[in-house]
């Protein structure tokens, strides 16, 4: 494996300033920029926890970026900040070059827990975002129905979330987000709680959606193989206080499928390469955390 494959410079605050991938992202404009973001939690009893320190990250238009790191490393905190749910202690997030303040309808968010409204049917759940936006009923019904059909959920329009399997709920959550036609989608470990087979079919679904819509996607996961399977670029975060450790372009050709990608020789090489880098952080997160506090 040639070392030129990954930019692996460890401690740089500006290790993201380089073009992401030669193929896809280099000429595309920067969609999302995270600059010098720090975030410290102060708990009720006054204990300070430094979650993020000097995080710098650029995501280009139409790029699929996966963020990987040991659990508890602040990946979700970072997503909350870039999605506008939380504000960083310091630093700046900009969208299309303009500083972001608060929640934007241009951003879609798919969370770890499926946050479908349990009293709404599948159809009504998919319509939710459009309803909030004030899209007329007929139009939003049309959009929702076509998305439901495309995802293989037809026949379940009138089912309630409690009647669906975990994988189906995730699908509904994904198309609920797509219905709003966001420019950029954040996904926070969306498939964490699912079994391997469901996971793989949903990964294929995400790959298909990206192929069709070319939306900018930022996907947070602690599963390295998932990150490699899906993304154009894998961003590695350190243990807490977390920062970007290194970034790896994933040159596996598209269109991809989860199954085929797992058999690609590049996949193994990349996994080996990134895992070596990630392992030390995982160990730090497991052992190092306790002695600090």
Partner 1 sequence: MRNFSRGEAGVMLLRALLVVLLAAGWELGVRRKLIDPFFFSRPSLILADLNKILVSGEILPHLKITLKEAFIGLAAGTVSGIVVAFVLGRLELLARVLDPIMVALYGIPKLALGPLFILWFGVGIKSKIFMSAIMVFFLIFFNTYAGYRNVDRSLVNAVRLMGGSGGQILRKVILPSCVPWILAGLRAALGASLLGALVGEYIGAEAGLGWMIQSAGGMYDTTRVMSCIVLLTAIMALGNVGLKITEKRLLKWQPTE
Q: Which residues bind partner 1 (CB under 8 A)?
A: 83-85, 103-105, 107, 109, 111, 113, 115, 117-120, 128-129, 131-133, 160-163, 180
Nearer to partner 1, 104 or 154 (CB): 104
Q: How far is the CB of 75 from partner 1 (least distance, A)?
A: 17
Q: How far is the CB of 227 from partner 1 (least distance, A)?
A: 23
User: How far apart are alpha carbons 200 and 222 in whole angstroms?
Assistant: 15
- Nearest CA to 128 among 109, 112, 101? 109
Q: How far is the CB of 184 from partner 1 (least distance, A)?
A: 12
Nearer to partner 1, 72 or 86 (CB): 86
- Nearest CA to 36 among 91, 75, 89? 91
Nearer to partner 1, 165 or 280 (CB): 165
Nearer to partner 1, 40 or 159 (CB): 159
Q: How far is the CB of 127 from partner 1 (least distance, A)?
A: 11
Half-sphere exposure of 99 (CA within 13 A, CB side): 7
Nearer to partner 1, 26 or 117 (CB): 117
Q: How far is the CB of 272 from partner 1 (least distance, A)?
A: 36
């Amino acid at each position: 494996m040639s070392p030129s494959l990954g930019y692996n410079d460890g401690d740089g605050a500006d290790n993201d300033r380089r073009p992401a991938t030669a193929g896809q992202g280099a000429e595309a404009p920067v969609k999302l920029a995270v600059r010098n973001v720090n975030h410290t939690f102060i708990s009720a009893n006054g204990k300070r926890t430094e979650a993020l320190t000097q995080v710098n990250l650029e995501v280009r238009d139409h790029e699929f970026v996966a963020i990987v790191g040991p659990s508890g490393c602040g990946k979700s905190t970072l997503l909350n900040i870039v999605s506008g749910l939380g504000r960083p202690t310091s630093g700046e997030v900009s969208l299309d070059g303009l500083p972001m303040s608060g929640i934007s309808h241009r951003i879609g968010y798919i969370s770890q827990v499926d946050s479908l409204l349990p009293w709404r049917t599948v159809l009504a759940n998919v319509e939710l975002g459009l309803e909030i936006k004030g899209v007329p009923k007929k139009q939003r019904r049309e959009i929702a129905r076509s998305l439901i059909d495309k995802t293989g959920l037809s026949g379940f329009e009138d089912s309630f979330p409690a009647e669906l399997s975990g994988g189906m709920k995730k699908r509904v959550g994904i198309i609920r987000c797509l219905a709003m036609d966001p420019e950029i989608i954040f996904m926070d470990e969306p498939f964490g709680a699912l079994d391997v087979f469901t996971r793989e079919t949903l990964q294929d679904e995400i790959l298909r959606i990206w192929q069709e819509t070319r939306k900018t996607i930022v996907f947070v996961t602690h599963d390295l193989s998932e990150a490699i399977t899906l993304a154009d670029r894998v961003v590695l975060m350190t243990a807490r206080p977390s920062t970007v450790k290194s970034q790896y372009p994933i040159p596996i050709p598209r269109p991809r499928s989860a199954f085929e990608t797992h058999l690609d020789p590049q996949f193994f090489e990349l996994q080996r390469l990134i895992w070596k880098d990630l392992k030390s952080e995982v160990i730090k997160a497991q052992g190092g955390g306790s002695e600090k506090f």
